[in-house]
């Protein structure tokens, strides 16, 4: 009886769930790919730390070694490259707005170091005009930013004296006196930076007009390398030095899975949030100094923090619950009214089994048996016995047994009435 009553409701609900399932977001991928830079660079090292963090949640991060930021952007824009994420130096995206790319966060400062050979202090880029310059490897973020700065100062970045070199080649050429200045984008802990800061005859450029550059280019910030910060004993640098610094940005496709955006930014907070020589703890990751539009899910993360469920549940459990929220629509739409209708419907089904005999019993009761003949009375008694036998076979829930016993009582009353009529008629059945 319960199956007969509730079966249609269950069927309707299942159909509702099947329809709603078509609108449930797909599960996050368990394998993602990130473009970094050379194996000796900071991007590659940070990608390894990200891989460790994501592995804790059952996600495999594959690292793709590249030539740098420019190539990383190209790979992200190439559908055939199968790259999901990339580290990109601020200032390299330029006017790219048509590749369906979005920034997830600024991760840390990447100072621009300008080392030069000269006895005089150089604090303005025009002082390097007509000198032999190494501006970074082709496809690197260093070269993209340096060319912009040179052009700001009307220095021909395509001149024969402006040469594309990777970091190692530029360092050797500078120490050998084959070039006059070299540009590097690197961490202060980079061995190359440390070696050049300790090298005789090599000086670090102070950007006297750093504020002007930060106003011209939103992806740049002015940072200070404090006196003695590199080597207190040797007092390196000998004074406070102002450097220009783009930020390292984490970039993805606009359709990157929203659940992974939050997970990546939580990993970024663990990797970059402790601070460095140029920033206080908690400064990064943030949504400032970005070349590309900020991803909508990343914006929500920076405004409100991780999703509520991810704060208290394992990632995959939280994601499953979040994805299935849409299933509440058919659940609430169908089940709430059904639960209101089902109890009365069930009561009607139970009482229907009892009440169906009341029609027959009423027909016998209103037939005026005292006016019937003996044969008709015997037939009415046989009908009553059939009704009583059927009633004995019926099963109803305990809460409805009172109505069943009332039916039996009414059967007895009608039988008594019929027997009196039989006795009055002088029938042998009396």
Strands 31-35 and 60-64: parallel
> What's the whole-number mean pLDDT along residues 71-97?
84
Residue 362: pLDDT over 90: no
Question: Which is more confidently placed, 362 or 133?
Answer: 133
Residue 390: pLDDT over 50: yes
CB–CB of 335/13 below 8 Å?
yes
Phi/psi for 3 (5° steps) reads: -65, -40
What does the DSSP assignment read for 136-147? Answer: --TT-HHHHHHH
Q: How far apart are CA 278 and CA 245, in angstroms?
A: 10
Q: How far apart are CA 238 and CA 222, in angstroms?
A: 19
pLDDT for res 208: 96
Q: How confident is residue 2, by pLDDT bands cut at 50, 70 and 90?
A: very low
Is the pTM higher than 0.85? no
Q: How confident is residue 323, by pLDDT bands cut at 50, 70 and 90?
A: low
Question: In this predicted model, what pLDDT tens digit does every residue of 22-37 receive, in sequence order?
Answer: 555 567 889 999 999 8
CB–CB of 133/127 below 8 Å?
no
- Report the percent of the chain where pLDDT is more than 90: 50
Residue 9: pLDDT over 60: no
Strands 203-204 and 112-116: antiparallel
> What's the whole-number mean pLDDT along residues 375-396?
79
pLDDT for res 50: 97
pLDDT for res 67: 85
Question: Which is more confidently placed, 3 or 131?
Answer: 131
CB–CB of 94/291 below 8 Å?
yes
The residues with which 35 forms a beta bridge, in sequence order, are 64, 86
pLDDT for res 407: 77
Residue 184: pLDDT over 80: yes
pLDDT for res 196: 96
Q: How far apart are CA 394 and CA 408, in angstroms?
A: 12
Residue 340: pLDDT over 70: no
Q: How confident is residue 16, by pLDDT bands cut at 50, 70 and 90?
A: low
For residue 380, give the nearest of 407, 362, 355 by alpha carbon.
362
Residue 430: pLDDT over 50: no
pLDDT for res 81: 74
CB–CB of 377/425 below 8 Å?
yes
Task: List the single range of 174-188, 277-291, 366-380, 399-413 with lowest mean pLDDT.
Answer: 366-380
**In terms of C-beta distances under 8 Å and separation of at least 24 residues, what long-range contacts does 413-420 make, across chains too?**
414/361, 414/364, 414/365, 414/384, 415/381, 415/384, 417/365, 417/369, 418/364, 418/369, 418/377, 418/380, 418/381, 418/384, 419/381, 420/370
pLDDT for res 1: 47
> What's the whole-number mean pLDDT along residues 112-141?
92
Question: Which is more confidently placed, 177 or 93?
Answer: 177
Q: Would you tell me how many other CB atoms lie within 10 Å of the CB of residue 3?
A: 7
Question: In this predicted model, what pLDDT tens digit does every residue of 271-310 receive, in sequence order?
Answer: 999 988 999 999 999 999 998 999 999 999 999 998 887 8
């Amino acid at each position: 009886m319960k199956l007969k009553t509730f079966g249609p409701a269950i069927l309707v609900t299942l159909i509702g769930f099947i329809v709603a399932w078509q609108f449930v977001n797909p599960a996050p991928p368990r394998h993602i790919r990130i473009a970094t830079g050379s194996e000796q660079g900071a991007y590659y090292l940070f990608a390894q730390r990200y891989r460790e963090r994501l592995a804790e949640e059952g996600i495999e991060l594959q690292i793709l070694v590249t030539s740098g930021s420019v190539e990383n952007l190209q790979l992200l824009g190439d559908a055939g490259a199968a790259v999901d994420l990339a580290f990109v130096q601020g200032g390299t995206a330029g006017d790219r707005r048509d590749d369906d790319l979005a920034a997830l966060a600024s991760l840390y400062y990447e100072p621009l170091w300008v080392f030069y050979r000269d006895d005089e202090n150089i604090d303005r880029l025009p002082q390097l005009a007509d000198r032999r310059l190494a501006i970074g490897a082709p496809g690197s973020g260093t070269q993209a930013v340096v060319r912009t700065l040179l052009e700001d100062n009307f220095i021909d970045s395509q001149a024969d004296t402006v040469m594309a070199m990777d970091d190692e080649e530029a360092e050797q050429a500078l120490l050998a006196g084959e070039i006059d200045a070299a540009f590097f984008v690197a961490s202060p802990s980079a061995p190359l930076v440390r070696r050049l800061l300790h090298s005789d005859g090599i000086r670090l450029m102070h950007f006297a007009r750093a504020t002007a550059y930060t106003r011209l280019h939103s992806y740049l910030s002015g940072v200070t390398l404090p006196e003695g910060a590199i080597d207190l004993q040797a007092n390196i640098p000998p004074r406070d030095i102002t450097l220009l610094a783009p930020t390292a940005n984490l970039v993805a496709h606009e359709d990157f899975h929203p659940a992974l955006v939050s997970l990546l930014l939580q990993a970024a907070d663990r990797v970059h949030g402790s601070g460095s020589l140029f920033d206080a703890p908690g400064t990064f990751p943030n949504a400032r100094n970005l070349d590309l539009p900020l991803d909508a899910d990343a914006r929500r993360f920076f405004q409100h923090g991780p999703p509520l469920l991810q704060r208290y549940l394992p990632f995959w459990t939280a994601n499953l619950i979040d994805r299935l929220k849409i299933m509440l629509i058919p659940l609430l739409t169908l089940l709430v009214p059904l639960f209101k209708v089902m109890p009365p419907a069930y009561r009607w089904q139970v009482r229907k089994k009892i009440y169906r005999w009341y029609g027959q019993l009423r027909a016998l009761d209103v037939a005026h048996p005292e006016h019937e003949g003996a044969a008709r009375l015997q037939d009415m008694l046989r009908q009553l016995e059939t009704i009583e036998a059927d009633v004995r076979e019926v099963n109803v829930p305990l809460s409805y047994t009172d109505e069943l016993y009332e039916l039996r009582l009414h059967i007895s009353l009608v039988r008594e009435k019929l027997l009196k009529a039989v006795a009055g008629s002088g029938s042998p059945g009396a």
